[in-house]
């Protein structure tokens, strides 16, 4: 089903090497370049007839991160997996996620259940081991029919505490949701259908309320940016607002670009640039995933997700280059390029969050510019903010989750170009080819009405662009959007809740 869930999980009881399951995953650490065959690894090695020792002696296995070795014991598969020997915390966590993902992915089509051994039952390393295993179990096979649909694995038991398991599961659920949505074919999640699905899904959660502004309401209330971008499609745009009230006080607003498809509109994209634009909704997907995780865990934060969903296509009703739009906050925008559409939908949502919803801070997440992807590539998102504090908060979150962010400057003098290009209106939606990511960020900033604001341009990692050229983490699905940002946003919210 679209909006799939991770496999069933529980806490492993008794001796994990003698459990009922058809497979066991056994971690092997490494020190000074050599595998450590001790503790549970030594025990498993013995049961498997010394295969680990032999493989290490012959040089076939050295416990590097993600390296695997299969053995057998009493009708069970034993998957030994190397955890590597990273000494730096964030690299170690990433290796752990990758290793467990890789080990579990070997079992996906082969067994129905597995016990996954995690060395210590508590703490971040334990949580990320479970997260890795669950993310490695992800497959987008909803549209595959019989032969291709081979997944067997439906139950995983972990040697971790209940609370670690619960948190990891909620995180994985958020990422699954984001992956399904970011990769869904456009018409499966047209704006009205997406609104229905979000309403159904999120109404299961406590302290969550979903409100949908339909097209008529958007027109009536003057959401000129969202209306202009979305009106060319028969499937009209919506603004979905999901509130999670886990605490008192002004909310944190998470705004996610949700271009269900971006053809460029009248400024149509060239053929080869169209296909991946089904994932131009990766920002909104991440926001929904993070809100799901936060609400499932009852985080003590007050969060509002704003999801302006639209389809940007050319038609007789589309907005036109040279149109002037009146935005929700009254700003007038001269449309210099209908392919700079994301910033128009986001600007309305950001202004609404700042003024109508009284957000205390605003984080927007968007596959906003090709320029950001060109600058930072497939694995790194651009982060823009005037707040040193927020920058640090996101850096800390990224250290934990491995979702890399790198700051780009909000160069004031580039703002003038946006004004210069608009002889009729306050500001143009696009001005410069050079510094395109910065120019887009400055456009968004115009609408934040002075609220603390973080803009994440996830054009590269959000879509999984160019993934074939670099080595992506083993816990990412190959060739499709990885649900980037869910864990980062969750970690950021969790830190807020702790304050």
Q: Tell me which residues touch ligand BES (CB under 6 A).
A: 262, 280, 337, 339-342, 367-371, 373, 430, 436, 459, 463, 465
Interface with Zn ion, residue 457, by CB under 5 A: no
- Dihedral sign for Cα atoms in the order 92, 93, 97, 98: negative
Quote the least distance from Cβ 217 to ligand BES, whole Å.
24
Quote the least distance from Cβ 391 to ligand BES, whole Å.
23
DSSP per-residue string spanning 329-348: TS-EEE-S-TT--HHHHHHH
Half-sphere exposure of 389 (CA within 13 A, CB side): 5
Quote the least distance from Cβ 273 to ligand BES, whole Å.
7
**Residue choice 85, 125, 262, 361 for contact with Zn ion (CB under 5 A):** 262
Interface with Mn ion, residue 339, by CB under 5 A: yes
User: Among the options 139, 179, 243, 343, which is catalytic?
Assistant: 343
User: Closest CB to Zn ion belongs to which residue?
Assistant: 262
Size of residue set near Zn ion by CB under 5 A: 4
Residue 92 partner contact from Zn ion, Mn ion, ligand BES, none using kind-dependent CB cut-offs of 5 to 8 Å: none
Q: Which residues contact 348 (CB under 8 A, 6 or more apart)?
A: 223, 224, 225, 226, 239, 308, 327, 328, 329, 447
Q: How far apart are CA 22 and CA 439, in angstroms?
A: 55
User: Helix 282-296 to helix 486-497 angle, to the nearest 10 degrees?
Assistant: 40
Q: Which residue lies nearer to ligand BES by CB, 85 or 341?
A: 341
Q: Using alpha carbons only, what angle is made at residue 329 by residues 328 and 335, rounded to the nearest 5 degrees?
A: 65
User: Among the options 269, 300, 326, 395, which is catalytic?
Assistant: 269
Q: How far apart are the first and last CA of the chain?
A: 38
For 403, the 3-state DSSP assignment is: coil
Contact assessment for residue 367 and residue 340, using Cβ atoms and an 8 Å cutoff: no
Quote the least distance from Cβ 165 to Mn ion, whole Å.
41
Using CB under 5 A as the criterion, what x/- string covers residues 203-242 for binding Zn ion?
----------------------------------------
Q: How far apart are CA 404 and CA 472, in angstroms?
A: 12
Q: Which residue lies nearer to ligand BES by CB, 31 or 433?
A: 433
Q: Which stretch binds Zn ion (CB under 5 A): 272-280, 321-329, 382-390, 464-472?
A: 272-280
Residues between 424 and 453 with contacts to Zn ion, criterion CB under 5 A: none
Among candidate residues 457, 225, 456, 191, the one with its CA nearest the CA of residue 349 = 225
> For the chain, what is the largest distance between any 2 Cα atoms, rounded to a whole number of angstroms?
79
Tell me the β-bridge partners of 30: 35
- Give yes or no: 343 in active site: yes
**Tokens standing for residue 436:** 């395109």
Report the 10 Å Cβ neighbour count for 231.
Answer: 19
Q: How far apart are CA 83 and CA 69, in angstroms?
A: 12
Size of residue set near Mn ion by CB under 5 A: 3
Q: Which residue lies nearer to Zn ion by CB, 259 or 428?
A: 259
Q: How far apart are CA 65 and CA 457, in angstroms?
A: 30
**Edge-first strand listing for the sheet containing 76-82:** 8-11, 155-158, 113-116, 23-28, 76-82, 68-73
Q: How far apart are CA 405 and CA 488, in angstroms?
A: 10
Q: Which stretch binds Mn ion (CB under 5 A): 110-118, 213-221, 231-239, 337-345?
A: 337-345
Q: Which residue lies nearer to ligand BES by CB, 251 or 342?
A: 342
Residue 430 partner contact from Mn ion, ligand BES, Zn ion, none using kind-dependent CB cut-offs of 5 to 8 Å: ligand BES
Q: Which stretch binds Zn ion (CB under 5 A): 78-86, 275-283, 324-332, 374-382?
A: 275-283
Q: Which residue lies nearer to ligand BES by CB, 132 or 283?
A: 283
Q: Which residue lies nearer to ligand BES by CB, 280 or 364?
A: 280
Q: Which residue lies nearer to ligand BES by CB, 382 or 400?
A: 382
Interface with Zn ion, residue 364, by CB under 5 A: no
Residue 172 partner contact from Zn ion, ligand BES, Mn ion, none using kind-dependent CB cut-offs of 5 to 8 Å: none
Q: Which stretch binds Zn ion (CB under 5 A): 70-78, 241-249, 259-267, 319-327?
A: 259-267
Interface with Zn ion, residue 342, by CB under 5 A: yes
Interface with Mn ion, residue 262, by CB under 5 A: yes
Report the 10 Å Cβ neighbour count for 380.
Answer: 18
Q: How far apart are CA 52 and CA 175, in angstroms?
A: 34
Quote the least distance from Cβ 238 to Mn ion, whole Å.
19
User: Closest CB to Mn ion belongs to which residue?
Assistant: 339
Residues within the interface to Zn ion (CB under 5 A): 259, 262, 280, 342
Task: Name the residues annotated as catalytic.
Answer: 269, 343
């Amino acid at each position: 089903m679209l909006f799939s869930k991770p496999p069933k999980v529980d806490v492993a009881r008794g001796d994990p090497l003698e459990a009922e399951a058809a497979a066991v995953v056994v971690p092997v650490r490494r020190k000074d370049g050599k595998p450590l065959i001790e503790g549970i690894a030594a025990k498993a090695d013995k049961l498997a007839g010394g295969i680990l020792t032999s493989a290490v002696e012959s040089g076939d296995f050295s416990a590097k991160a993600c390296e695997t070795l299969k053995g057998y014991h009493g009708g069970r598969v034993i998957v030994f997996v190397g955890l590597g020997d990273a000494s730096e915390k964030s690299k170690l966590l990433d290796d752990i996620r990758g290793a467990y993902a890789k080990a579990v992915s070997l079992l996906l089509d082969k067994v129905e259940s597995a016990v996954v051994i995690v060395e210590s039952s508590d703490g971040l390393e334990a949580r990320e081991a479970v997260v890795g295993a669950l993310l490695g179990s992800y497959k987008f096979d909803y549209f595959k029919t019989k032969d291709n649909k081979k997944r067997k694995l439906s139950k995983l038991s972990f040697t971790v505490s209940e609370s670690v398991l619960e948190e990891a599961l909620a995180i994985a659920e958020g990422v699954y949701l984001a992956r399904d949505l970011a990769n869904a074919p456009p018409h499966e999640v047209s704006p009205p259908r997406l609104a229905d699905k979000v309403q159904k899904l999120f109404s299961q959660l406590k302290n969550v309320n979903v409100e949908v502004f339909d097209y008529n309401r958007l027109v009536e209330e003057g959401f000129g940016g969202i209306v202009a971008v979305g009106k060319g499609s028969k499937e009209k745009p919506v603004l979905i607002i999901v509130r999670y009230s886990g605490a008192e006080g002004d909310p944190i607003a998470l705004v996610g670009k949700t271009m269900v498809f971006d053809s460029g509109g009248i400024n149509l994209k060239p053929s080869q640039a169209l296909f991946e634009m089904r994932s131009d909704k990766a920002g909104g997907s991440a926001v929904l995933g993070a809100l799901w995780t936060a609400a499932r865990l009852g985080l003590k934060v007050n969060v509002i997700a704003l999801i302006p969903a639209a389809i940007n296509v050319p038609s007789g009703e589309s907005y036109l280059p040279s149109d002037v739009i009146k935005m929700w906050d009254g700003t007038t925008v001269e449309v210099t390029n209908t392919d700079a559409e994301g910033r128009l939908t986001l600007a309305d949502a950001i202004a609404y969050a700042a003024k109508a919803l009284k957000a205390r801070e605003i984080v927007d997440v968007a596959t906003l510019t090709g320029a950001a992807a060109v600058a930072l590539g497939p694995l790194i998102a651009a982060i823009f903010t005037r707040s040193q504090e927020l920058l640090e908060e996101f850096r800390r979150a990224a250290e934990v989750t491995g979702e890399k962010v790198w700051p780009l400057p909000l160069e004031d003098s580039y703002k003038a170009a946006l004004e210069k290009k608009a002889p009729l209106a306050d500001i143009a939606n696009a001005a410069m080819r050079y510094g395109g990511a910065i120019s887009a960020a400055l456009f968004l900033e115009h609408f934040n009405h002075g609220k603390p604001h973080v803009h994440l341009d996830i054009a590269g990692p959000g879509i999984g662009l160019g993934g074939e050229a670099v080595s992506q983490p083993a816990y990412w699905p190959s060739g499709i959007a990885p649900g980037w940002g869910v864990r980062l946003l969750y970690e950021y919210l969790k830190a807020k809740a702790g304050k």
